[in-house]
Amino acid sequence: MKIYVGNLSFDVTEDEITAEFGTYGKVESVAIPSDKFNGRPRGFAFVEMASKSEAEAAIAGLNGKTLRERTIVVNESRPRADNRGGGSYGDRRSGDYGSGGYGGGRGGRSGGGRQQRY
Protein backbone atom coordinates (compact mmCIF):
# COMPACT_ATOMS: atom_id res chain seq x y z
CA MET A 1 0.00 0.00 0.00
CA LYS A 2 1.29 3.44 -0.94
CA ILE A 3 1.40 6.24 1.66
CA TYR A 4 1.78 10.00 1.13
CA VAL A 5 4.02 11.85 3.58
CA GLY A 6 3.76 15.64 3.43
CA ASN A 7 5.29 18.72 5.08
CA LEU A 8 8.74 17.12 5.16
CA SER A 9 11.92 19.04 5.84
CA PHE A 10 14.00 19.47 2.69
CA ASP A 11 16.89 17.81 4.56
CA VAL A 12 15.13 14.54 5.43
CA THR A 13 16.64 11.41 3.89
CA GLU A 14 15.14 8.17 2.60
CA ASP A 15 16.93 6.34 5.43
CA GLU A 16 15.24 8.51 8.07
CA ILE A 17 11.81 7.91 6.55
CA THR A 18 12.51 4.18 6.28
CA ALA A 19 13.52 4.09 9.95
CA GLU A 20 10.33 5.92 11.06
CA PHE A 21 8.00 3.71 9.03
CA GLY A 22 10.01 0.55 9.73
CA THR A 23 8.78 0.50 13.32
CA TYR A 24 5.29 -0.26 11.94
CA GLY A 25 6.23 -2.93 9.41
CA LYS A 26 8.22 -3.77 6.29
CA VAL A 27 8.98 -0.77 4.08
CA GLU A 28 9.04 -1.79 0.41
CA SER A 29 10.23 1.54 -0.99
CA VAL A 30 10.64 5.26 -0.28
CA ALA A 31 10.52 7.93 -2.99
CA ILE A 32 11.29 11.61 -2.37
CA PRO A 33 10.43 13.54 -5.55
CA SER A 34 12.72 16.43 -6.41
CA ASP A 35 12.05 19.62 -8.30
CA LYS A 36 12.97 19.21 -11.96
CA PHE A 37 14.42 22.73 -12.20
CA ASN A 38 16.61 23.06 -9.11
CA GLY A 39 16.93 19.41 -7.99
CA ARG A 40 15.85 20.12 -4.41
CA PRO A 41 13.33 17.83 -2.68
CA ARG A 42 9.73 19.03 -2.98
CA GLY A 43 8.82 18.51 0.67
CA PHE A 44 6.89 15.27 0.39
CA ALA A 45 7.51 11.57 -0.11
CA PHE A 46 5.79 8.31 -0.97
CA VAL A 47 6.31 5.21 1.15
CA GLU A 48 5.21 1.78 0.03
CA MET A 49 4.59 -0.79 2.74
CA ALA A 50 4.24 -4.55 2.47
CA SER A 51 0.70 -4.87 3.84
CA LYS A 52 -2.38 -2.73 4.26
CA SER A 53 -2.53 -3.34 8.03
CA GLU A 54 1.08 -2.17 8.48
CA ALA A 55 0.40 0.90 6.36
CA GLU A 56 -2.72 1.78 8.36
CA ALA A 57 -0.76 1.39 11.61
CA ALA A 58 1.97 3.69 10.26
CA ILE A 59 -0.59 6.30 9.17
CA ALA A 60 -2.27 6.23 12.60
CA GLY A 61 1.05 6.35 14.44
CA LEU A 62 2.94 8.93 12.37
CA ASN A 63 0.32 11.45 11.21
CA GLY A 64 0.96 14.65 13.17
CA LYS A 65 4.34 13.47 14.46
CA THR A 66 7.31 15.85 14.45
CA LEU A 67 10.20 14.86 12.19
CA ARG A 68 13.17 17.26 11.91
CA GLU A 69 11.16 20.04 13.57
CA ARG A 70 8.27 19.72 11.08
CA THR A 71 4.83 18.26 11.82
CA ILE A 72 4.36 15.68 9.08
CA VAL A 73 1.11 14.74 7.37
CA VAL A 74 0.69 11.03 6.67
CA ASN A 75 -2.22 9.50 4.79
CA GLU A 76 -3.10 6.97 2.11
CA SER A 77 -1.82 7.99 -1.28
CA ARG A 78 -4.59 8.69 -3.79
CA PRO A 79 -4.11 8.56 -7.55
CA ARG A 80 -3.29 12.00 -8.90
CA ALA A 81 -6.08 13.73 -10.77
CA ASP A 82 -4.56 14.70 -14.09
CA ASN A 83 -5.41 18.39 -13.92
CA ARG A 84 -2.14 19.63 -15.34
CA GLY A 85 -3.84 20.60 -18.60
CA GLY A 86 -2.29 20.38 -22.01
CA GLY A 87 -1.86 22.77 -24.86
CA SER A 88 -2.74 26.38 -24.29
CA TYR A 89 -3.64 27.13 -20.70
CA GLY A 90 -5.91 24.30 -19.62
CA ASP A 91 -6.82 23.10 -23.09
CA ARG A 92 -8.94 26.13 -24.00
CA ARG A 93 -7.64 25.82 -27.55
CA SER A 94 -7.98 29.18 -29.36
CA GLY A 95 -9.76 31.15 -26.63
CA ASP A 96 -12.62 32.56 -28.72
CA TYR A 97 -14.50 34.84 -26.33
CA GLY A 98 -17.34 35.95 -28.58
CA SER A 99 -16.23 39.07 -30.41
CA GLY A 100 -13.07 37.75 -31.99
CA GLY A 101 -10.62 39.68 -29.83
CA TYR A 102 -8.63 38.65 -26.79
CA GLY A 103 -6.28 36.16 -28.36
CA GLY A 104 -8.87 34.18 -30.29
CA GLY A 105 -7.76 32.45 -33.44
CA ARG A 106 -9.79 34.55 -35.87
CA GLY A 107 -8.33 35.78 -39.11
CA GLY A 108 -4.81 36.11 -37.81
CA ARG A 109 -5.38 39.39 -35.97
CA SER A 110 -4.19 39.74 -32.41
CA GLY A 111 -7.09 41.17 -30.48
CA GLY A 112 -9.28 44.22 -30.35
CA GLY A 113 -12.53 45.15 -32.02
CA ARG A 114 -14.94 43.32 -34.24
CA GLN A 115 -13.93 41.57 -37.40
CA GLN A 116 -14.82 43.51 -40.54
CA ARG A 117 -16.98 41.85 -43.16
CA TYR A 118 -16.63 42.66 -46.84
- Is 34 contained in some domain? yes
- Is 110 contained in some domain? no
Tens of each residue's pLDDT in the chain, 118 residues? 999 999 999 999 999 999 999 999 999 999 999 999 999 999 999 999 999 999 999 999 999 999 999 999 999 998 877 766 655 554 555 555 555 555 555 555 555 556 666 6
| CA 63/CA 51 separation, integer angstroms | 18
- Is 94 contained in some domain? no
* CATH code for the domain in which residue 38 is found: 3.30.70.330
- Is 113 contained in some domain? no
pTM of the complete model: 0.68
Neighbour tally for 39: CB within 10 Å: 7
- Is 91 contained in some domain? no
Q: Taking each helix axis as running N to C, give the angle between helix 52-62 and helix 14-22, from 0 to 180 degrees, rounded to the nearest 10.
A: 100
Domain that holds residue 25: 2-76
- Is 26 contained in some domain? yes
Number of domains in the chain: 1
